[in-house]
């Protein structure tokens, strides 16, 4: 088990996907995302295995991500944030999203 203080160290924020590119070099099908987290954090990159979504469905979508993990190199790409999702009954990733539009960079508390 972790303590509540440990959980508070994880910085989970809302961002908006502003670009989506194919990530053909990835071992598993994935997209390269650019996500705007507002003026405090700025634009960050993420690799996400969410190809069950179309690029059009992802563009301008608000998502939830961990923004304070160390960057992770995935092939030639450096993923700066962890985009969060949950598998559905078929194993497809369903992105965590706010149910209403919220300000970019808003922190989960």
The model's pLDDT over 61-100, given as tens digits with 9 standing for 90+, comes to 999 999 999 999 999 999 999 999 999 999 999 999 999 9
Other CB atoms within a 10 A radius of the CB of residue 61 amount to 17
Q: Contact at 8 Å (CB) between 85 and 30?
A: no
- pLDDT over 90 for what percent of the chain? 95
Residue 106 lies in a domain: no
Residue 100 lies in a domain: no
Question: In the chain, what is the straight-line distance between the N-terminal and C-terminal CA atoms, in Å?
Answer: 19
**Alpha helices for 1-109 (secondary structure H):** 4-8, 55-58
Q: Which domain holds residue 30?
A: 4-95
Residue 47 lies in a domain: yes
Q: Got the DSSP string for 2-22?
A: --HHHHHTS-EEEEEEEEEEE
Residue 31 lies in a domain: yes
Distance (Å, whole) CA 42 – CA 86: 25
Q: CATH number for the domain including 43?
A: 2.40.50.140
Q: Contact at 8 Å (CB) between 44 and 77?
A: no
- pLDDT over 70 for what percent of the chain? 100
């Amino acid at each position: 088990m972790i303590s509540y203080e440990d959980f508070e160290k994880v910085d989970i924020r809302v961002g908006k996907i502003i670009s989506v590119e194919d990530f053909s070099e990835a071992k598993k099908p994935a997209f390269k995302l650019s996500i705007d987290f507002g003026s405090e954090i700025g634009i960050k990159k993420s690799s996400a295995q969410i190809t069950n979504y179309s690029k059009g469905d992802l563009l301008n979508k608000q998502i939830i991500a961990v923004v304070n993990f160390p960057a992770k190199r995935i092939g030639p790409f450096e993923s700066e944030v962890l985009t969060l999702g949950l598998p559905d009954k078929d194993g497809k990733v369903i992105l965590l999203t706010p149910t209403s539009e919220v300000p970019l960079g808003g922190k989960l508390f």
